[in-house]
Amino acid sequence: MKLSPLDIRKQEFKKVMRGYDPIEVETFTETMANEFENLLKEQNDLRLKIVELETQLKDYKQMERTLQQTLMQAQEATGKTYEAARRDAESIVKEAELKAAQILNQANEEMGKLNNEITQLKSRKDSLIGRLRVLLSSELDLIKSLEVGNDPVLSNDSSRGTGKDNIDLDNILKAIENVGTPESH
């Protein structure tokens, strides 16, 4: 049986002789009814508070789930971004390495061509110097023979013995001097 403060207040007791003092019983029941009423109010307030706290708890749990999902999504996004950045960096490095290799190959090819040209030019220079030495040597021999013998047959034809017509020695010597200078290249 559930009691309410009103039930306690309305409760009546039989009157008997030698019973309890009715004023004391009424005072006690009134006090008890007031206390019971306060307890019921407090219980009701606590129930409301429990409902409110349970609602808040549900809200907080929902927020926690949302935050966890957001955190997981952020971590996934960060991981994907990091991975994409790593792949991009690797791609850039590979591309740079390929370009560097191409540039190096081109430079090596150019260097090879230049070395070949230098070799050819040195060979041509050496050949020209050799031919000029032979020519100058034969011309000197001719000059010596002309100085010594003063042969009229040789003096009429200055190209005899060389196979060349009227060679200008000064121009040849200037050309030889210019072969080794940078301006001539």
Q: How many separate domains does the chain show?
A: 1
Q: Which residues contact 4 (CB under 8 A, 6 or more apart)?
A: 36, 40
d(C-alpha 185, C-alpha 128), whole Å: 15
124 within some domain: yes
Question: Which pTM was predicted?
Answer: 0.40
32 within some domain: yes
52 within some domain: yes
d(C-alpha 81, C-alpha 87), whole Å: 10
Cβ burial of 58 (10 Å; 0-12, 13-18, 19+) is exposed
185 within some domain: no
Q: Give the domain extent around 111.
A: 5-10+19-180
Secondary structure letter of residue 180 according to DSSP: T
Residue with tokens 């010597």: 173
* pLDDT tens-digit profile, the chain (185 residues): 577 777 777 777 777 777 777 788 888 888 888 888 899 899 999 999 999 999 999 999 999 999 999 999 999 999 999 999 999 999 999 999 999 999 999 999 999 999 999 999 999 999 998 888 898 888 888 888 888 865 544 444 444 445 444 456 666 666 666 665 555 54
